[in-house]
Amino acid sequence: MLEGSDLTITLDLFVVSLLLASLLFLFCLVLAKRKYSFLKRVNPKFDLKKLLILSAATVCFLRVMSFIGVIAMDLANVRAHYSLKPASSHIERDTANNIHPIEKNQAFYDSSMTVLFDLPNAIVISTYVLLTLVWAECSLLSRFHTESTAQWRKRGL
């Protein structure tokens, strides 16, 4: 280590909670990888169950990356706040027609929050839609196993 380096990193409750959430999502990512490997060994054909597992793993990976991005912005001390109205719509300029640095940070922050949080949310919604498709497929396949082919033939004649 360098002598005389006064590098200190302070972690607030927000950063600690994001780190814990990242660890939980990493754990879910490992579980999804194990489940996908098991399903691939049982049946090498790609089906809806494997697609559901891959979708859940993608959500976990993107959530971990988004939390790491928010932690990095917090540790870099980006002085911006989350608002529903984008900063680009109300940029203030001074008399020399220069954009204030806080507004530049706010515009970057707004854009990054849109990508970091809205993209995984869209994938979560599509994962739940896929879950209903998997449930419907399993329900349909389970009904075929309980039906007797002899009864189907009698009904058809």
Do 39 and 51 form a contact (C-beta atoms < 8 A)? no
89-121 per-position pLDDT tens digit: 545 555 556 655 556 667 777 777 777 777 777
The confidence band for 26, taking pLDDT boundaries of 50, 70 and 90, is very high
Q: What is the model's pTM?
A: 0.61
The secondary element (H helix, E strand) that includes residue 126 is helix 119-146
The 10 Å CB-count burial string (b at 16+, else e) for 64-83 is: bebbebbbebeeeebebeee
pLDDT, position 18: 86
